[in-house]
Chains A and B, each alone.
Chain A
Amino acid sequence: MSKRSDMTATKNWSGQTMVTADHMLFEAPRTKHFMTGSEVLKEAVKRCTVDASVSYPITPQSEAAHLIGELWAEGYVGMYFRGENEFGVMSEVAGCAMSGSRTITTTSGPGTLRAMENFPQWSGTRIPCQLILMARGINSPLTIQPDNLEVTFMLETGCMIWYAENVQELFDMSIAAFIVAEKPDVHVPIVTVVDGFFVSHTRESVMLPNDDIALLPYEPYKSPLPPIDSETPPGRFLRDPFVMKSNYISYATHASWQWEVRSAVERSRPYAEHFLKGLLHESGDVDAEIAFITCGTASHQAKEGQRELAKLGIKSKVIKLRTIRPFPTKELIKSLEGVKHAWVPEFNVVGWLEKEVKTALYGKSDTNIIGGPRVAGGMSLPAEAIIQEVMEVLNPGKGA
């Protein structure tokens, strides 16, 4: 599977000089390019010494899986094949990762749901694979446009969840994601989310390091579970599940391992803080009494709103959450000090981020959290809608 044997001490199999993630992300000189989210993901994968990728070209999708296939043809990715369907893909990703390969795939919308059983299985087997989730609509009547409702289904799978705002963040995050997921004390799968279309199909400028460098390879023997060793506990639970014994051990094993997986996600915090420069980012007026708590494209829309509100003389700030699992509770409480009202604009009908925020803040913050504005099914969230919501609270009955 892997081309590991083709590597030298300094070069990977495609002749790229191997570097640390710190060098790749913070030190290597960068040049400007103009590309889509799908194209930039190809550039990221190209620089990650990726062993394997599995794809299923379902609609809705992006060009990302196709472009990773090109990388395989060009010799940058060790192994690439098409699964039977999304369930097959995620199962095969698990197989690749269990064998000790750095593995990536992408999906979206109905494909995510079809593969769902695999995600908690991924985290339970502690594989450090990466899923790029380009969120699209999932429910009938059909939409293939951006709508991030599917993320709510991913929240309790035991996978880490990071959320990128734009093309640049997708590049940087998807590189850091491998490294954090592969830390021996973390070692759980990571889901890097972007909003489909708004990032995957959007073309904008992005700064990239040269493509003659790539990450050092994944070191599978640092795994808490030996690769493909089903005989050694706890890996043994794969082929000889304790539940088959039907005694107290089955409950204890399941419960303790579930806690352990979530603890592993928590242990990713310091690494995420380092590589993402904080689990949340603030922009706008630091001492504002009005805030927007956002992730992904909603951050962009809120920044547009913040800029327009500033023109009206109203101070506000945008608190962009970069990780959802682990959830940046401590950081959010600190950011909300002195904030009277905080809105949670979202691209879905249920307001899953609002629920996450309220759960995290319950009893710990005096800020008035207001869900919305929300759009769905591919609608845009114009700054005008955000400003209107703010004005209705600040200036009741009088509008903007």
Chain B
Amino acid sequence: MKDSIKIRMPGLGGQGAVTAAHIAATAADTVGYYAVSNPFFGAEKRMAPSESYARIGTVPIYDRGEVIYPDIVMIFHPQVITMGKSYTMPFYAGIKENGLVIINSDRDLLTDVDKKILDALNVKVLTRDFTQFAIDKAGTELATNMAMLGALFGALGTVNKPAIEEGIKDRFLKKYTASGGTATLDSVIEKKFKKKKELIQKNLETASAAYDLTEEWCKEVGFQQMLESPKGTNS
């Protein structure tokens, strides 16, 4: 069992990998972990490589920037692998023993060499079409990142669904609105609230379903809890 883990999330611009890391860290913080998230991207454009990183632990986290030695790699788009749209090649470069790779793809993208290397490190690989999963659950491929997020926490097992909800709300309801202009901003938010509430609900349902799916998968393949449970609550 580890006192901290590092998660690398390569995706493509517009997929919400940055948002996913943001919510992952916020949710982990909510249940009492030390957590840090940061993005990495070049010129901002859709379909360009965009990565984000989350670090979660029961000890203070100093490490910053790109995750070079990840415990978990989450591939948000098949092109990360097939076209090398990533800051690291191959996509599992640096992965630690007993790690986990979650791939959003409708087909198996691993070569025999990849499988051999990952097997030798006892790295488990979950390949699922999380985009289709998001379309089925939320009615939009934009919720792909929520499905990936749910899958991550289903595998970790120590960040519960209410915390994920807290993370999603924190991102979409902007709790930190400044008081000076609150009156104006509140009226805008109220008007949009119905739509926003639906958005949050659908995102949450998607993440929740993916959580259950991965939890089940972990039992099937014998993937053990890798991160210590949080020691206290920071919230």
- Residue numbers of A with Cβ under 8 A of B are 14, 32-35, 39, 42, 46, 59, 70-71, 73-76, 144-146, 195, 197-199, 201-205, 211-212, 297, 300-301, 303-304, 307, 378-384
Q: Is the CB of B35 within 8 A of A73?
A: no
**Minimum Cβ distance to chain B for residue A388 (Å):** 13
Q: Does B179 contact A (CB under 8 A)?
A: yes
Q: Is the CB of A382 within 8 A of B176?
A: no
Q: Is the CB of A382 within 8 A of B63?
A: yes
Q: Does B68 contact A (CB under 8 A)?
A: yes
Chain A residues within an 8 Å CB radius of B179: 74, 211-212
Q: Is the CB of A297 within 8 A of B26?
A: no
**Minimum Cβ distance to chain B for residue A46 (Å):** 7
Q: Is the CB of B63 within 8 A of A198?
A: no
Q: Is the CB of A32 within 8 A of B36?
A: no
**Minimum Cβ distance to chain B for residue A2 (Å):** 17
Report the nearest A residue to B185, measured CB to CB. Answer: A74
Q: Does B1 contact A (CB under 8 A)?
A: no
Q: Is the CB of A144 within 8 A of B38?
A: no
Q: Is the CB of B66 within 8 A of A379?
A: yes
Chain A residues within an 8 Å CB radius of B25: 34, 203-204
B window 10-62: CB within 8 A of A = 22, 25-26, 29, 34-40, 42-43, 61-62
Known A202-B36, A202-B37: A380·B42 in contact at CB below 8 Å: no
- Residue numbers of B with Cβ under 8 A of A are 22, 25-26, 29, 34-40, 42-43, 61-69, 170, 176, 178-181, 234-235
Q: Is the CB of A205 within 8 A of B65?
A: no
Known A34-B170, A75-B180: A198·B42 in contact at CB below 8 Å: no
CB within 8 A of B65: which of A33, A303, A380?
A: A380
Q: Is the CB of B178 within 8 A of A70?
A: yes
**Minimum Cβ distance to chain A for residue B142 (Å):** 21
Give the dominant DSSP class at B's interface. Answer: loop
Q: Is the CB of A144 within 8 A of B43?
A: yes
Q: Is the CB of A75 within 8 A of B68?
A: no
Q: Is the CB of B29 within 8 A of A303?
A: no
Chain A residues within an 8 Å CB radius of B63: 300-301, 304, 380, 382-383
Q: Is the CB of A144 within 8 A of B42?
A: yes
Q: Is the CB of A34 within 8 A of B26?
A: yes
Alpha-carbon distance between A381 and B66 when the two chains are bound, in angstroms:
9
Q: Is the CB of B43 within 8 A of A381?
A: no
Alpha-carbon distance between A383 and B67 when the two chains are bound, in angstroms:
11
Alpha-carbon distance between A28 and B25 when the two chains are bound, in angstroms:
27
Q: Is the CB of B62 within 8 A of A301?
A: yes
Report the nearest B residue to A208, measured CB to CB. Answer: B176
Alpha-carbon distance between A14 and B37 when the two chains are bound, in angstroms:
33
Alpha-carbon distance between A379 and B38 when the two chains are bound, in angstroms:
14
**Minimum Cβ distance to chain A for residue B17 (Å):** 13
Chain B residues within an 8 Å CB radius of A46: 178
Alpha-carbon distance between A205 and B25 when the two chains are bound, in angstroms:
10
Chain B residues within an 8 Å CB radius of A70: 178, 181
CB within 8 A of A74: which of B65, B66, B67, B178?
A: B178
Alpha-carbon distance between A14 and B182 when the two chains are bound, in angstroms:
13
Q: Is the CB of B38 within 8 A of A203?
A: yes
**Minimum Cβ distance to chain B for residue A167 (Å):** 9
Chain A residues within an 8 Å CB radius of B37: 202-204
Alpha-carbon distance between A35 and B34 when the two chains are bound, in angstroms:
13
Report the nearest A residue to B94, measured CB to CB. Answer: A382
**Minimum Cβ distance to chain B for residue A118 (Å):** 27
Known A145-B40, A382-B69, A384-B69: A34·B29 in contact at CB below 8 Å: yes
Known A32-B234, A74-B180, A74-B181: A382·B36 in contact at CB below 8 Å: no
Can you report 14 A-B residue pairs in the complex whose CB atoms are below 8 A from each other? A34-B29, A34-B170, A35-B176, A39-B176, A74-B179, A74-B180, A145-B42, A199-B64, A203-B25, A204-B25, A205-B234, A297-B64, A301-B64, A378-B65
